[in-house]
Amino acid sequence: MKHLLRFAYLPFLTGLTSCASLYFPPPPHAPLLTHQGEAYGSISTNLQNNFALQGAYAVTEHLGVAGTFSSLNRDRTRKTENIGFGELSVGYFTRLPDKRVLEVYVGAGGGSTQRVERDAEKVTTRTLDGSLSKVFAQVNYARKKSDNLRLFKHDFPLTYGAALRMSYMQLNNFRIDGLAAPGENNVFFEPITFTRTQIAGPVQLQIMSGQIFGFRNNKFLKAANSVFQIGIVVNLDPKGFMGE
């Protein structure tokens, strides 16, 4: 249990993080593909009402494709935020000794963002909206079933891993109260760690946490949100690597 509890405090950190940015990062995908025909899917969320759907498929023994769709919809007293974002990527994966997996992906994404700000009387004071685009490169490294979590006389295999992502983001078609405004761009670095616990068969519980760092000091497109997701992962491996 200690392997999962060490991540439990991270939701509180994300709750303390500023939400001034018009970009909320979707969780990096980590399908951990190992064989041709293997399929991966996940659904996750966090305390910020950010939902993500992800999927991946091993086209050949070393070529995989992956996709992510995420949405953020928050309605608070002083502000309403709506962000929708999608990503597609292609990558190389390989199986290493001792049930380790290495993946390298490159991809692109796009979406829209809107924020409506209000005063204490709930009167709209400013509306910001625009489109988002990005290109990214990502490296995943993990070891499948390196340990077991024992609960109620049952063993639950664990997987540990990390993802490193570098992204170039742009805020385009930016408008403030309907008037055109200068766009912004930034370079983000996202180091992520994740832990998975096998619940039953191919179904796993995943906790993903990390941080986002921006290389430019922008006003609207900046690294103002941490990464934390908890969700369900389904990994269908036709050659049984998960069970070895």
pLDDT top residue among 35 and 18: 35
pLDDT > 90? residue 163: yes
- The pLDDT assigned to 143 comes to 84
Local structure of 234: helix, strand or coil:
strand
- CA–CA separation, 179 and 69 (whole Å): 29
174-220 pLDDT, tens digit per residue, is 999 999 999 999 999 999 999 998 888 889 999 999 999 999 999 99
Q: What is the mean pLDDT of residues 8-32?
A: 66
Residue 139 has pLDDT above 50, yes or no: yes
> What is the extent of the structural domain holding 129?
2-243
User: Which H helix or E strand runs over 133?
Assistant: strand 124-151
Which CATH number fits the domain that encloses residue 20? 2.40.128
Number of domains in the chain: 1
pTM score, two decimals? 0.84
pLDDT value, residue 7: 41
Answer for the pair 133, 84: CB distance below 8 angstroms, yes or no: no
Between strands 213-214 and 184-200, the pairing is antiparallel
Report residue 105's pLDDT band, with 50, 70 and 90 as the boundaries. very high
Largest Cα separation within the chain, whole Å, is 63
pLDDT at 14 exceeding the cut of 70:
no
DSSP 32-52: ---STT-EEEEEEE-TT-EEE
* H or E segment to which residue 5 belongs: helix 2-5
Q: How many whole angstroms separate alpha carbon 103 and alpha carbon 88?
A: 15
Q: What's the mean pLDDT when you consider all of the chain?
A: 86
Residue 9 is predicted with a pLDDT of 40
Q: Which helix (H) or strand (E) holds 13?
A: helix 10-16
